[in-house]
Structure 1
């Protein structure tokens, strides 16, 4: 799955989708998608990522308390 870094617009390839959808995990491992050579995996805070369309990640992926209505 590809996501986009909000600030730079660069695409990153998510290495573990389960890590991405786990609301108790704030940081995921991904690879930047630049150039023709595969980049080294790096850590990214989920709050800095959006879908390539610019849409935010679902709240249930980033907030373990989303059902309680608290932030």
Structure 2
């Protein structure tokens, strides 16, 4: 799955989909999709990512208390 880093606009390939869907995880492993060579995996804060369309990630992926809000 590709997401976009809000600050830079760079695309990030998410390597751990289960961590992305889990509201208990605040970070997710991914790789920048820039240049011709594959980038090293890094940890990304989920709150700093969104969909390439500009839409925010669902609250249930980010906030463990999303039902009580």
Q: TM-score if structure 1 supplies the norm length?
A: 0.95
Question: Match for residue 16 of structure 1?
Answer: 16
Is 1:60 aligned with 2:31?
no
Alpha-carbon distance between aligned partners in 2 of 1:40 and 1:25, rounded to the nearest angstrom: 21
What's 1:35 paired with?
A: 35
Unaligned runs of 5+ in 1: none
TM-score normalised over the length of structure 2? 0.98
Q: What RMSD in Å do the two structures reach over aligned CA positions?
A: 0.4
Q: CA offsets per residue over residues 37-63 of structure 1, 9 Å max, x none?
A: 100000100010000000000000000
- Number of positions where the alignment pairs a residue of Structure 1 with one of Structure 2: 69
Give me the whole-angstrom Cα distance separating, in 1, the residues matched to 2:28 and 2:50. Answer: 13
Give the 4+ runs in structure 1 shifted more than 2 A: none
Structure 2 unaligned residues grouped into runs of 5+: none
Aligned to 1:4: 4
